Amino acid sequence: MSLVLPGEIVVERFMPTARVLLASELDERGFTQQEIANRLGVTQAAISNLVNENVAIEPRFSEDERMIATVERIAEGFDSGEMDEVDALAELLALIREFEDRGPICAIHEELMPELEGLGCDLCVRGTDSQVLAERDVLRSVRRAARLLTGTDAVTEYVPNVGTNIGMALPEAEGPTDLAAIPGRIYRIRGTVERAANPEFGASEHVAGTVLVAKEADDDLRAALNLATSDALLDAARDAGIDPLEFDAGYEGREEHLRERLAERESVPLVLYHRGEFGIEPVTYVLGETAVDAAELAIDLVESAMDGRDRES
């Protein structure tokens, strides 16, 4: 693992690029090299190198419209006398924060540290407050659950035509945007199961609705995934001591109907299903306290269902 701090990118790539652009812009406005050096806090010899572009620059910064606009704004401020070095620093810091928020600094950071790819990393702009930690825990659980599902052969047989998704809600979730899932879902492709992307918040509708209704009845249940309904799968659930709950397939009023059906039970069963209707594929939802819990239970059920089907044949 290569350990690279975002600050290293700022020092080694952002600032040299910013200095080159600023020096060139000020040079065009008639500033002497010594005046530019005084503004940028470097030597006159360094300015000569900057103006003559003898310093390597990062295209992802230099070609970004936000940096171009910032450089022009600072140069104009210096030229008019309306901006001093502190004002310029504030402009550059604001730009750095933008670039650290899933911008070019993030892109370079992931390139230098591949371990960050797909994490939805926001360490630079969000810090480590409790809400952020909760979001990262949810994303981590959904990523691991997706890996479990795509790495299990038996799951292939139970991916619906519409695809499988797995989602997990934040502890205080109020709506679909508080639940992370897989954008584009998990699909069966040429006999294997593959995920379309890494998890994001707000990437699910139906799984999110199911999770949120289940969570109302049992606050510990914050995750769910969908599979194709089959008698073998439901029998596997019953063999595992789960009494599956059936609810209406129709999209209109589905969540309210599920809420009413759950109210009839003393506890929320970990398997909910419907038989489908015209234009709606039969789907079974497997619940869990975390996305990993839901995935592990789903894998146990599909493997048991496959074993039972093989024995019967």
Q: What is the pLDDT of residue 258?
A: 94
Q: What is the tens place of the pLDDT at every residue in 207-261?
A: 999 999 999 999 999 999 999 999 999 999 999 999 999 999 887 888 999 999 9
Residue 67 has pLDDT above 90, yes or no: yes
Residue 117 has pLDDT above 70, yes or no: no
Q: Which two tokens stand for residue 282?
A: 């039969």
Nearest by Cα to 63 from 52, 55, 71: 71
Mean pLDDT of 59-70: 92
Q: What is the pLDDT of residue 90?
A: 86
Residue 309 has pLDDT above 70, yes or no: no
What is the widest separation between alpha-carbon atoms in the chain? 88
Q: What is the pLDDT of residue 9?
A: 86
Q: What is the tens place of the pLDDT at every residue in 160-181?
A: 999 999 999 999 999 999 999 9
Mean pLDDT of 78-101: 85
Q: What is the pLDDT of residue 311?
A: 62
Query: 272 vs 83, which has greater pLDDT?
Result: 272
Spatial separation of the C-alpha atoms in residues 99 and 14, rounded to whole Å: 10
Mean pLDDT of 36-61: 82
Spatial separation of the C-alpha atoms in residues 171 and 246, rounded to whole Å: 26
Mean pLDDT of 40-55: 78
Residue 199 has pLDDT above 60, yes or no: yes
Q: What percent of the chain has pLDDT over 90?
A: 51
Residue 118 has pLDDT above 90, yes or no: no
Nearest by Cα to 122 from 146, 99, 145, 156: 99
Q: What is the pLDDT of residue 45?
A: 81
Alpha-carbon distances, residue 47 vs 22, 34, 57 (angstroms): 10, 8, 14
Number of Cβ within 10 Å of residue 68's Cβ equals 14
Q: What is the pLDDT of residue 128?
A: 54
Mean pLDDT of 186-211: 89
